Amino acid sequence: METKDVDAIVVGSGPNGLAAAITLQEAGVSVLLLEAKDTLGGGMRTEELTLPGFYHDVCSAVHPMAMGSPFFAALPLADYGLQFIHSPLAAAHPFDNGTAAFLSRSLEETAAALGVDKKVYLELIKPVADHWEEIAADSMGPLAFPRHPLIMARFGMNALRSAAGLSKRFSTMEARGLWAGMCAHAIQPLTNLATAAIGIILSAAGHRHGWPVPKGGSQAITHALAAHFLTLGGEFQTGVTVRTLDELPSHRALLFDLTPKQLLTIAGDKFSDPYKRQLSHYRYGPGVFKIDWALSGPIPFTAPECRQAATVHLGNTFEEIALSEHNAYAGKHSVAPFVLLSQQSLFDERAPAGKHTAWAYCHVPNGSEVDMTNVIERQVERFAPGFRELILAKHTMNTRQMEAYNPNYVGGDINGGIIDIRQLYTRPALRVSPYRTSAKGIYICSSATPPGGGVHGMCGYHAAKTVLKDIF
């Protein structure tokens, strides 16, 4: 590695590494960003995984939190060509009877379609959608006294409950199923405390900002962030794997967009014994098995609402989804798992004329190498008869392959560690600041810090703010 000395080095170029680098560079700190792969992006990459001309998002695909992120909102990313595309419906949730519940940009439309559960849905989601900016500012960061205590108190009364507990407020199959699909993004049993938070946040984000896809694929977000970083005077190098601290140029601050497992390997000898013990006990959650398909046509969903949504949740009833999520956490594989499916090419050109792509994954035990291809395809076929006849090619990744692609996905855990009540604000260790390590000048800025997984950049932003306070 040949470069001049810099003020700060950021290792890892996922959304949080880029956010940390940008935040520091904006403050006048000279930053070197290092990435092990040949391209920047972490979980924000788009590649021809199946056939030439078919472009697939390798990891992240749909980005409700990017639109709702205070960090992203403050950047001129549109100036670098970033465009977000909104499907007519944000998400759809089909049932075996051929109908579907849905999440639209309109709160009233979504609630009205839930019939007798309209009032409950509005009571649960409307206060968060109405006060999105205040709640995002107070919740998307480290634990601190809120700037809007009354709003946060009302939010917390529901958010800290389990998804299963709050589901009892709904009486219809449609509302309960839709709720289960939203909360299952937590990737843990729906009986766990605080699983309601992800369902409330994702629903409110959909009403406030939608669930858009970036034009051209998730790599477009990386390109925009990187272009802004370079405009500010930042420097990055790709193809650089950091194995020891000795190989790095002189610096005053070092930030890792890595999770505890990799951090211990690279810098463990610099940490105190108590801090190392905490990192070694950091817990990872269930993994994912992912499929990308090249298709000869659009997925023939029975429910018309599913053909209007970039995101489709496949799992039927609350009970089926709850069982699926419990199984993955308990080390079991489901015969009818909850499947998150994205069909970006319906709304953005990702394939040759007349052809399409689709992206899907289900939750599996951490480290699983079981091939879930047939199980997932059977679940899609359940709600879209004739789907298998459209498959031209496919690309699969089990949990081990996910981790090989991105070491932050330990055992296939795409959240960088389970975000349950025990690790909600104590990730990666119980400290005054979760971004400081026990070694002076070394920080962690990955999704293993608050507020956790997702393409929002807030972990990197808050880590960089801590560095600015401590050193610069």
Q: Please write the tens of the pLDDT for every residue from 290-318.
A: 999 999 999 999 999 999 999 999 999 99
Judge if 8-82+214-282+413-470 and 84-213+286-405 fold alike in CATH terms: no
Which residue's entry shows tokens 């605080």? 194
Query: Among the CATH numbers 3.40.30, 3.40.630, 3.30.70, 3.90.660, which is that of 84-213+286-405?
Result: 3.90.660
350, pLDDT greater than 90: yes
Give the mean pLDDT of the chain: 97
Q: Which fold has domain 8-82+214-282+413-470?
A: FAD/NAD(P)-binding domain (3.50.50)
Count Cβ atoms below 10 Å from residue 240 Cβ, excluding itself. Answer: 17
Predicted local distance difference test score (pLDDT) of residue 4 = 74
Of residues 118 and 143, more confidently modeled: 118
Tens digits of per-residue pLDDT, 203-260? 999 999 999 999 999 999 999 999 999 999 999 999 999 999 999 999 999 999 999 9
- In the sheet with 356-364, reading across from the earlier edge strand, the strands are 100-103, 89-94, 309-314, 339-342, 356-364, 287-295, 391-397
Q: What is the number of H-type helices and E-type strands within the chain?
A: 17, 16
Model confidence at 425, pLDDT cuts 50, 70, 90, reads confident
Model confidence at 1, pLDDT cuts 50, 70, 90, reads low
Rounded to 5 degrees, what are φ and ψ at 389?
Answer: -70, -15
364-380: average pLDDT: 98
Tens digits of per-residue pLDDT, 330-343? 999 999 999 999 99
Percent of the chain with pLDDT over 70: 99
Sign of CA dihedral 372, 376, 382, 387: negative
Residue spans of the domains in the chain: they are: 8-82+214-282+413-470, 84-213+286-405
Token duo for residue 331: 């080390």
Predicted local distance difference test score (pLDDT) of residue 2 = 60
| 253-256 and 442-444 strand pairing | parallel
Give the whole-angstrom CA distance, residue 361 versus residue 30.
39
5, pLDDT greater than 90: no
Ramachandran class of 194: left when φ > 0, alpha when ψ lies in -120 to 50, beta otherwise: left
At 248, which amino acid appears?
L
Give the whole-angstrom CA distance, residue 324 versus residue 316.
11
The pTM for the full model equals 0.96
Predicted local distance difference test score (pLDDT) of residue 3 = 63
Q: Classify residue 348 by burial, with Cβ atoms within 10 Å: 0-12, 13-18, 19+.
A: buried
CA atoms within 13 A on the CB side of 280: 11
